[in-house]
Amino acid sequence: MRRTSFEHAECPIARSLDVIGDWWSLLIVRDAFGGKRKFGDFQKNLGIAKNILAARLRSLVSHGILTLEAAEDGSPYQEYGLTAKGRDLFYVLVALRQWGDRHLFETEDVAPELLDRQLHRPVGQLELHAADGRLLRPGDTMLRRRRCEALNGA
Amino acid sequence: MRRTSFEHAECPIARSLDVIGDWWSLLIVRDAFGGKRKFGDFQKNLGIAKNILAARLRSLVSHGILTLEAAEDGSPYQEYGLTAKGRDLFYVLVALRQWGDRHLFETEDVAPELLDRQLHRPVGQLELHAADGRLLRPGDTMLRRRRCEALNGA
DNA sequence: GTCCCTTAGTTTAATAATGCAACTACATTG
DNA sequence: CAATGTAGTTGCATTATTAAACTAAGGGAC
């Protein structure tokens, strides 16, 4: 592991990156969203070395992002599935997808489109709103260290 | 570089991760949002090795996420600043922050709070909306390979 | 100008992570 | 029972990261 000094970082971004900030974890989660469930599915689709994939899947399971359960379709093997915590990475994946769409594609090659499953129409951009509903843009926010009630006794 | 097979991946998530998916780049961008601008600021705050920081800053500049310009405050050194492309990583950082907040903190240790700079009140959760305004949740989306106009001549 | 301090890196050598290929284990198919 | 498919593990070479020492350039004190 790297960045040991951040293991108990107070910053949630650093903590998140310690869990899913490596080269493969988010791609595995992306494929899990895409319906992949078996070791071989991930391996073939990602082209990742099998030992690395095994280590990543183990890590994701140990962090409660994936579960490893017996397959329901009768196959004798086990399947990896997203937990609620793993499904909640949806917004991280969408943010990465939309940033990549906006900044990493030329007009020639076009990214696949993210569609609403009901309407089959493109979804909007991720939005962050203030308490009063105003749309917030980059730089419209600040951080405040939250007060720790545990410090002064009760 | 790793994952060379994904260098021209059609998936915008994979492309994004190729650019900012390493262990340090997003933390550097986070600190840039926090006002850090000089090499030493990043180095002290992150505890990163100086050669790695130099390599990452070079990479971020070469990808158009940071710029390296003469400092405005008269100091003889240069400063790193976010470009529009870099500022647009805001949503990725917020997504990681909110996921970490929700899943990586116990009741005892609390993450710093993201506030609206105007109201000084906590911001809402990132939202993804369908074309008709419906709020979309994890799994409510699908992908469609966009059609390539270049293929059939005109 | 010389000495020393700060800033911003580079270089070097040790350590850790990754990738590749071969191998194991187990269950099914023929 | 041999062949095949799935899910890994093991060993080794390659690559990335780290820490520490080193370089270079500017500024201030004298």
Looking at residue B3, what is its pLDDT? 57
Helix (H, G, I), strand (E, B) or coil at B145: coil
For A43-96, write each residue's pLDDT tens digit.
Answer: 999 999 999 999 999 999 999 999 998 777 767 788 999 999 999 999 999 999
Cβ burial B11-33 (10 Å sphere, 16+ → b, else e): bbbbbbbbbbbbbbbbbbbbbbb
Spanning CA of A1 to C1' of C16, the rounded length in angstroms is: 8
pLDDT score, position B151? 45
Residue A7 has pLDDT above 90, yes or no: no
- Taking CA atoms, B139 is separated from A32, A89, A94, A108, B94, in Å, by 11, 11, 11, 29, 20
CA closest to A15 among chain B residues? B100
What CATH topology corresponds to B1-88?
Arc Repressor Mutant, subunit A (1.10.10)
Nucleotides of C under 7 A from a protein CB: 7-12, 16-22, 27-28
Torsion angle (degrees, nearest 10) of CA B116, B119, B124, B130: -90
Is A48's CB less than 7 Å from nucleic acid strand C?
yes
Residue range(s) occupied by CATH 1.10.10.10 in chain B: 1-88
Q: Which of residues 132-151 of A touch strand C (CB under 7 A)?
A: none
Residues 6+ apart with CB under 8 A from B62: none
- Decide if pLDDT at A110 tops 90: no
Q: What is the pLDDT along chain B (154 residues), one digit of tens a residue?
A: 455 445 557 899 999 999 999 989 999 999 999 999 999 999 999 999 999 999 999 999 999 999 998 777 767 788 999 999 999 999 999 999 999 999 999 877 788 999 999 999 999 999 999 999 999 999 999 999 876 555 443 4
pLDDT at A146 over 90: no
Residue A154 has pLDDT above 60, yes or no: no
Kindly state the helix (H) or strand (E) to which residue A115 belongs, with its residue range: strand A113-116
pLDDT of residue B153: 38
Chain B residues whose CB is inside 8 A of the A104 CB are 12, 15-16, 19
Q: What does the block give as tokens for A77? A: 């093997």
Tell me if B128 sits within 8 A of A122, measured CB to CB.
Answer: no
Tell me the pLDDT of chain A averaged across its residues. 89
pLDDT in the model for residue A3: 59
Rounded Cα gap, residues A7 and B47, in angstroms: 13
pLDDT band at A133 (very low <50, low <70, confident <90, very high): very high
